[in-house]
Amino acid sequence: MSRRKPQSPQEKALLDKARRYMPGATLGNAPSDYDDGFIVQGGRGSRVWDFSGNEYIDYLLGSGPMLLGHAHPAVVEAVRQQLDQGSTFFLTNGAIIQLAEEICRAVPCAEMVRFTTSGTDATFQAMRLARAYRRRDLILKFEGGFHGSSDYALQSVTPTRLVDFPTPVPGSAGIPRAIGDTMLIAPFNDLDTTTAIIQAHHEKLAGVIVEPMQRILPPVPGFLEGLREVTARYGVPLIFDEVVTGFRFAYGGAQEYYGVTPDLAALGKVVGGGYPLAAVCGRAEIMRAYDASAVAGDEFIPQIGTLNGNPVAAVTGLATLAELRKAGAYQRLHATGHRLRAALLRALEQAEIPAVVSGEDTVFDVYFTDKPITTYRSTLAADGAMLKRFNRLLLDRGILKGGQKFYVSLAHTDSDLDQTIAAIKDAVGHLRG
């Protein structure tokens, strides 16, 4: 198997500069598995390359948005055409209205859309909408669920201190203690406990936010349906965080894929086609809080962002969605993931390494454990050090992936998969050693 070329003087110099000017020498995003100096020079299709002359088959995909692959010709052309007409206006523009219409056509819960620039802001806005609508403060989120980097979202994301539900554990320095008083934490995939928490707190509950597939934990049968039922019973808005799943699991996202419609959804990643755009969408009755002419002064939510609804991101989103509407796109995407996921599982089984391959066909990864994985707490039993080693072995064999995610794209070819599967087999062979 080919190994990575050693770091070039150019990459070393860049890394030195990054160390000098950027905390941790990173954007804060990259898994620590790569922080010995992986600096991306460019990408095209299913491939990215670094400054040392190494090329990788990319299953990180910009952490999900690049569902068509890098520099897709239709997306590049859309940018080219838009650039001549200006890149940002702060005003409603033609392209963003078209994108709003397309989102409402595609996403079951979407009657209206408000745009943001990041998924973090979209989930933050969704929580604020629920709070404004219900005139209450408490939001229930799930342990292990990730909704971006706001003070609310960062409660109980990867807690190592396990406390009783529904008490939150802050996941970052700098979060005011008072935020914890506005959040409830429940165990994903445990409908009984979640229902009991909702029943006990429904009078003060503003909303429930959930990743329909939490990280790479699919919902157990009946979980999302039960959550829908109990939130509807108490008139509590259910928010799906579809930043990962939107336009990836299906054109209508996880709500189409799993057949459960929330009241609000946060979209990001794919909807912007790799440019900074995200959105909150949902029932008009809740979304009207953004319309000063439709609600009383104290019901109004001002939502202002310099780059929100940016026309370049709008046209790249529209170009991406147009590709996804082409016949067979989702079948191809699911088939790609299915083949890779099955091969990963087979390689681990043949090597007799205890492992669970968790997720859905378009996003998945391995937990090194022989125990079933359904909740955040069950994931703690998995061997994280082994996963880090596996990621590293794959990187050395030209396969780039996230810390705990393989994202697949429409750009991955059969020959990419052949090469990836060979690399996986070889990496698995070296895993124990």
Ligand X SMILES: Cc1ncc(COP(=O)(O)O)c(C=O)c1O
Encoded tokens for 40: 């991306």
The residue type found at 167 is: T
Q: Which of 119, 207, 252, 402 binds ligand X (CB under 6 A)?
A: 119
Q: 82: part of which helix (H) or strand (E)? A: helix 73-83
Please tell me the distance from the alpha carbon of residue 408 to that of residue 361, in angstroms, as a whole number. 8
DSSP 8-state symbol, 160: S
Footprint of ligand X on 89-118 (CB under 6 A): 118
Smallest gap from residue 150 Cβ to ligand X (A)? 9
Q: Which of 11, 50, 211, 360 binds ligand X (CB under 6 A)?
A: 211
Footprint of ligand X on 58-77 (CB under 6 A): 63
Burial 48-67 (b: 16+ CB within 10 A, else e): bebbbebbbbbbbbbbbbbb
- List helix spans (H) across 351-413: 376-379, 384-396
Footprint of ligand X on 138-157 (CB under 6 A): 146-148
Q: Which of 120, 189, 316, 409 binds ligand X (CB under 6 A)?
A: 120
Q: Which residue, 243 or 347, has its beta carbon nearer to ligand X?
A: 243
Cα dist. 143→10, 217, 247, 273, 367 in Å?
A: 42, 12, 25, 29, 18
Smallest gap from residue 366 Cβ to ligand X (A)? 19
Stretch of 92-100, 161-169, 186-194, 236-244 contacting ligand X, by CB under 6 A: 236-244
Is 71 within 8 Å of 43 (Cβ atoms)? yes
Q: Which residue, 57 or 126, has its beta carbon nearer to ligand X?
A: 126
Encoded tokens for 347: 């390689």
Q: Which residue, 274 or 398, has its beta carbon nearer to ligand X?
A: 274
Please tell me the distance from the alpha carbon of residue 359 to that of residue 91, in angstroms, as a whole number. 40
Q: Which residue, 120 or 336, has its beta carbon nearer to ligand X?
A: 120
Smallest gap from residue 272 Cβ to ligand X (A)? 9
Q: 311: part of which helix (H) or strand (E)? A: helix 311-324
Contacts with ligand X by CB under 6 A: the residue count is: 14
Is 311 within 8 Å of 267 (Cβ atoms)? no
Is 142 within 8 Å of 161 (Cβ atoms)? no
Q: Which residue, 118 or 255, has its beta carbon nearer to ligand X?
A: 118
Q: Which residue, 185 or 417, has its beta carbon nearer to ligand X?
A: 185
Q: Which residue, 82 or 118, has its beta carbon nearer to ligand X?
A: 118
Footprint of ligand X on 239-258 (CB under 6 A): 241, 243-244
Other Cβ atoms within 10 Å of 36 Cβ, number: 10
Footprint of ligand X on 264-323 (CB under 6 A): 268, 278
Q: Which residue, 118 or 391, has its beta carbon nearer to ligand X?
A: 118
Cα dist. 241→7, 152, 262, 331 in Å?
A: 39, 14, 10, 23
Q: Which of 123, 156, 375, 409 binds ligand X (CB under 6 A)?
A: 123
Residue nearest to ligand X (CB): 119
Smallest gap from residue 365 Cβ to ligand X (A)? 14
Q: What sign does the CA torsion over 65, 101, 252, 416 have?
A: negative
Smallest gap from residue 211 Cβ to ligand X (A)? 5
The residue type found at 44 is: R
Stretch of 119-127, 216-224, 411-419, 422-430 contacting ligand X, by CB under 6 A: 119-127
Q: Which residue, 51 or 240, has its beta carbon nearer to ligand X?
A: 240
Stretch of 43-51, 173-181, 237-245, 367-375 contacting ligand X, by CB under 6 A: 237-245
- For residue 365, state whether it binds ligand X (rule: CB under 6 A): no
Cα dist. 328→260, 341, 410, 416 in Å?
A: 23, 20, 11, 19
Q: Which residue, 15 or 154, has its beta carbon nearer to ligand X?
A: 154
Residues that bind ligand X (CB under 6 A): 63, 118-120, 123, 146-148, 211, 241, 243-244, 268, 278
